[in-house]
Amino acid sequence: MKIQLFIEELKRRNVFRVATAYAIAGWLIIQIATSVFPAFNFPDWTQQFVIIITMIGFPLSLIFAWAFELTPEGLKKSAEVEITESVTNRTGKKLNRVIISVLSVAVFFLLTERIFFAESSILERNSAQFETASIAVLPFADLSPEGDQEYFSDGLSEELLNVLAKEQDMKVAGRTSSFKFKGQNENLTLIGSELGVNHILEGSVRKAGNTIRITAQLIKVDDGFHMWSETYDREYTAENIFRIQDEISQMVLNELKVRLLPEDTEEPIASNEELPTADIEAYEAFLKGNQLVRNREIEDIDKAIDEYERAIDIDPNFAMAYARLAIGYFLRYEYGNVEKDEIKELIRRNADKALFIDPTNAFAYASISRFYAIEEDLENELEAIEKAHQLSPNNPIITNWFGVSNNGEDNDRRDSLYLAAYELDPLHPVIAVNTGGVHYFRGDYDLAEEIWGKNIETNPDYLQTYISKIRLVRMEPYGNVDEAFIISYNGYKSNPEKLSFIQQLQSSANDFDLDSLWYQLNDEILRLFPNNPNALYAVNNLKFDELNKLIDDEKYAEAKLYAENNLSEFIEEDSVGFERYFSTLEGSSKLNDFFEKQEYDNAFEIIQDYFPEYLTDTLTVHPDWSMETWRIKYLFKHVGRDDLVQNLEELEYEFGDWIEFEYEKDILKEAPRVVYALAMESLYNNNIDRYTEIVEELYFNRKYKLNRWNEFFDQPHEIEILENHPELQQLIDRIEADQQRMKDNVVAFLKEEGVWQESWEEQEN
C-alpha cells in the first residue's frame, strides 16, 4: 500500500517525466559528442568526460525533481508547498512538451547522421575499404570423435578463405597469419588487431561415419557481436562439402555487403556450378597435400606431391589438384635437388592441364609464371603472374610472387606488391622477409629490423630471416663485418646442411680473404645441393677458377677452348661478346705481367695488339669501364707518348643506363652500391679529391665496408697517386687499420673454435 502511494507521489512530482526528458536529452548529448568531437580533433577524453557528467547528472535530476517544485513564486522545497497550491500538473504539461521537442531533435539527428555520415562513408570507401571490409578465417576446430580430421577442418577453412579472397572490395587475411591463431579463439579483439581485420569467421567440423556437421559464425571483432551463425548437418559427400562452402561464403558476403561493401558487388562470388571434384577421397587427398606443402621441407613437399597425384588418379578432371601439383614441383625444384629440364616439363604439363579444365584457375597461371621464371623468360613470366593476380587479387602468395617477378624490372611496383602482400598476411615468413627488405633498401633500418625481429619470434624455424639480420649487421648502417662473420659461423654450425647459412658464411669468408674456408664451403654446396637453382653459382665458381688458372699459366689457347665449352653462355650474357671478352682477359693478363716486371715497351706492344682503341686521337669516350685507363696513362708517360696521355685525360666518363640515380648523385642518399660506383667514376676521371670524399662518407659514416678500398693502391702508378694526395693516404691507412682489427677478431674467434689451420696463416700472409 505504501509502495503504491510512493509511486503516486513520484508521478505527482513529475519524477518520471523528468527521468524521461533527461534520458532522451542525455542520449542526444552523448550522440552529438561522439559524432562531432572527432571531426574537430577533440581529445578522446572529452567524449568520456561528457558521458560521465551526463550519467552523474541523471540521479541528481531525479533527486532534484523529488525535492523541489517550480512555483510562480520561484523554486521551493516540495515539502513546503501545500498540495492545494501545487502546480505540478502545469509543470507536467510543460515537461511533456519538452520531451516531445527533445525527441524530435533526436529523430532529426538520427536521420541526419544516417544520411550524411553514411554518404561520407560511401565517398571515403574507395580509400578506406581495407580498413572496414576486412575478415580473417580462423582454422575451424576438429570436433570429430577420433580427432583425425584436422587436415579436413584446416582445408575447409583455407578453401573458404580462397573463395572470399576473390572479392576485390574486401581484405582477407592470409592463410599463414590466420592459422597462427589456431586454437586461440578466446581473445578475438587481440587477433583482429594483430591481423588488421574487423571481422572473424570461425567454426568447427565434426565428422562421424558418413555424416558431417559444420558450424560457422561471423563475429564483429570490436564488440564480439555474432553477426551470423549457422549449423549444417549433411551427408559426407564432396558435393555437400562444396555446397556448404558456397553457402557460408555467400552468407558472409551478404552480411558484410549490407554494412560495408559497394552496392554493385557481384553476387554470388562462390558459386560452384561445376564442382572442383565429385569424389570425396580425391578431395581429402588434395587437402592432405595442401597441409603437407606448408612446411617447405623437401620430405613434406615430396609427400604432398604424392597426395596431389593420388587425387588426380582418383579424379582425372580435378583442375585445382593439377595446379597445386605444378606448384609442388616448383617447390621441389626450389628447395630440393632435381634436374632443371625434368622439373620444367612437369610444371608446365600439370599447369596446362589445370587451365584446360578450368581457364580461371589462378594457381595454374601462378605455376606457369614460375615455369617461365626457370626459363628466364621475363616477359611471359610477368604476363602469367599478372593474370594470376587479377584472378585472385587478395592471395598473398600470388601477390608476393608478382613482386618477385618485378624484381629489377619495376622496383617501385615490386615494393608496392610486397607491402600489399604483407598487409594481407603479415605473419607469413617469406613475405615478412621481403617486406623488411623493402624498408631496408629505403633506408628505414629500424623498421626493417623490427619486422625481421618479429618474424623470428613468430616463425623461429624460418632461417632466411636470420640471414637478413646478419646482412643488417654486416652492411649499412652497422658495418660490423667481423660480428657478421661470427654470427654466420654460429648459424652454420647449428645448421650445417642449410644452403642459406653455407652461402652466408661463404660471403663472410670472402670479406676477409679466407680462401681456404671459402673453397671448403663451395665444396659443401656442390656436395649437398648439386642441382639446386640457388647453388648453381658454386659450379660456375670452380669453372671460372679453372679458366683463371689456365690464363695465369699462359695457356691461352686451352683457356679459350675451356671457356667456349663451359662458360660461353655466361660470358655472352655479361659482355659485348665472347671473342671481345676473352681478348680483353688475355690482353689484361699479359699487360699485368709486363707491368709487374716494369717492362713498359713490351706492355705498349700489348696495347697495340689487344687495345688499339687507346692509340687513336679521335677517342671521345672511355672504351670500357675499368681502372685500366690509369695504368695506360702511366704507361704512355713512360714510353714518351704524351699526346696519347693528353687524349685520355680529356675523356670524361659518365654512367650509362645501368646505374639508376634516385637522388641526383647525392652520396648521402643514394644506395651504397651506387655511391661505390660514383667512387669508381671519380677514379676513372682522375678526380682524387672527390674519390676521397666519397670513400670517407661510404666507409666511415655509412659503414659500407665490404669493399677492401686499400687494395686499390698497390701498383706503381697507384702509389704515385697516393704520394700526390696525402689525405687519401691517411684515409687508406685508417681503412687498413680498421680492416685488420676486424680480421684479427675473426681469426681469434676461429682459433677459439678450434677450426683455424696454420696453413691458412701462411696463405693469408
Residue 639 has pLDDT above 50, yes or no: yes
Residue 641 has pLDDT above 80, yes or no: yes
Residue 127 has pLDDT above 70, yes or no: no
pLDDT band at 654 (very low <50, low <70, confident <90, very high): confident
Which range among 222-236, 584-598, 623-637 has the greatest average pLDDT?
Answer: 584-598
The percent of residues above 70 in pLDDT, for the chain, comes to 78
Residue 268: cis peptide before it, omega within 30 degrees of 0: yes
Using alpha carbons only, what angle is made at residue 163 by residues 160 and 317, rounded to the nearest 5 degrees? 100
User: What pLDDT score does 267 carry?
Assistant: 47
Which range among 479-483, 623-627, 658-662 has the greatest average pLDDT?
Answer: 479-483
Residue 408 has pLDDT above 90, yes or no: no
Q: Are 504 and 470 in contact (CB under 8 A)?
A: yes
User: What pLDDT score does 473 carry?
Assistant: 92
Give tens-digit pLDDT for 241-251.
888 877 887 77
Q: Between 616 and 465, where is the model more confident? A: 465
Q: Between 266 and 18, where is the model more confident? A: 18
Cα–Cα nearest to 351, from 328, 315, 383, 322 = 322
Section 53-68 average pLDDT: 66
CA-CA distance, 466 to 456, in Å (whole number)?
A: 7
Under DSSP, the state recorded for 169 is T
User: What pLDDT score does 265 carry?
Assistant: 45
pLDDT band at 124 (very low <50, low <70, confident <90, very high): very low
Q: Are 13 and 19 in contact (CB under 8 A)?
A: no
Domain with CATH 3.40.50.10610 in the chain: 133-259
User: What pLDDT score does 459 carry?
Assistant: 85
Give tens-digit pLDDT for 708-733.
777 777 777 777 788 889 999 999 99
- The mean predicted confidence, pLDDT, of the chain is 80
Q: Label each residue of 623-685 as H, E or C.
A: CCCCCHHHHHHHHHHHCCCHHHHHHHHCCCCCCCCCCCCCCCCCCCCCCHHHHHHHHHHHHHC
Section 379-383 average pLDDT: 93
Where on the phi/psi map is residue 233: left (φ > 0), alpha (ψ -120 to 50), or beta?
beta
Residue 396 has pLDDT above 60, yes or no: yes
Q: Are 241 and 160 in contact (CB under 8 A)?
A: no
Q: Between 248 and 347, where is the model more confident? A: 347
User: What pLDDT score does 122 carry?
Assistant: 32
Section 124-148 average pLDDT: 67
Q: Are 301 and 332 in contact (CB under 8 A)?
A: yes
Q: Are 298 and 336 in contact (CB under 8 A)?
A: yes
Q: What CATH number is given for 133-259 in this structure? A: 3.40.50.10610
Residue 222 has pLDDT above 90, yes or no: no
CA-CA distance, 380 to 392, in Å (whole number)?
A: 18
User: What pLDDT score does 58 carry?
Assistant: 67
Q: Between 411 and 163, where is the model more confident? A: 411
Max CA separation in the chain (angstroms): 135
